[in-house]
Amino acid sequence: MNALNTTLCYLERGEEYLMLHRTKKAGDVNHDKWIGVGGKFEPGESPEECLLREVKEETGLTLTGYRLRGILTFVCPPWPDEYIFLYTAHRWEGEMTGCAEGELEWVAKSRLSSLPLWQGDHIFLELLARDVPFFSLKLVYQGDRLEAAVLDGKPLKPDFTMDF
């Protein structure tokens, strides 16, 4: 099975992120999880082209200010491995629309830990909160359980905490 290239974007409005509660798509690895918006590359697309297209498709918004923050490697058998270009966005135009994959909601960053997220999302959301420069994070799962996390080539502690 070939690996997928995808984008993931967290639109930031003050102390909130735009989150997508994935509830509508059949056979979704992210079913019932809360994640940012994004999706798979189409043939010939750059990460930025995929980002802009996916955000527009899922939210109706056109990004005018965004930043590549890191690359995530997501390993979760039996799903294909995924290389995720992780972005945050701080400016956009247009009116928000509904999303065919779930419900969009502005969520206070302080509330994120109470939502059903992938366990590894807590790691990269903390890196984003601390404004860590560009990073590479590998997340290895067995089902919904995080088995290993490697940040910039260095395994994290067994409790997945980071020394800052």
Q: Is residue 25 part of a domain?
A: yes
Residue 159 lies in a domain: no
For tokens 């980071």, the residue is 162
Bridge pairing between strands 62-75 and 135-142: parallel
The dihedrals phi and psi of 120, each to the nearest 5 degrees, come to -70, -20
Express each pLDDT in 124-162 by its tens digit. 999 999 999 999 999 999 988 999 999 999 999 888 877
Domain total in the chain = 1
Task: Tell whether 122 is covered by a domain.
Answer: yes
Predicted pLDDT at 144? 86
CATH of the domain at 10: 3.90.79.10
91 bridge partner residues? 65
Do the domain assignments include residue 90? yes
The dihedrals phi and psi of 34, each to the nearest 5 degrees, come to -105, 125
Enter the pTM of the model: 0.93
* Residue 164 pLDDT greater than 70, yes or no: no
Instruction: Provide the domain limits for residue 22.
Output: 4-154
- pLDDT (tens digit, 9 = 90+) per residue, 43-60? 999 999 999 999 999 999
Q: Is residue 44 part of a domain?
A: yes
Buried b (16+ CB within 10 A) or exposed e, 35-67: bbbbbebeeebebeebbbbbbbebbebebeebe
In 3D space, the residue among 33, 54, 32, 34 whose CA is nearest the CA of residue 42 turns out to be: 54
**pLDDT, mean over the chain:** 93
Q: Where do runs of H (alpha helix) occur along 2-151? A: 47-59, 119-129
109-126 pLDDT, tens digit per residue, is 999 999 999 999 999 999
Residue 161 lies in a domain: no
Residue 64 lies in a domain: yes
Band of pLDDT at residue 66, cut at 50, 70 and 90: very high
| Mean pLDDT, rounded, for 18-23 | 89
Q: Is residue 160 part of a domain?
A: no
In our burial notation (b when 16+ CB lie closer than 10 A, e otherwise), range 3-27 reads: eeebbbbbbbeeebbbbbbbeeeee
Q: Which pairs with CB-CB distance under 8 Å and at least 24 residues apart come from 133-137? A: 134/68, 134/69, 134/70, 135/69, 135/70, 135/71, 136/70, 136/71, 136/72, 136/73, 137/70, 137/71, 137/72, 137/73
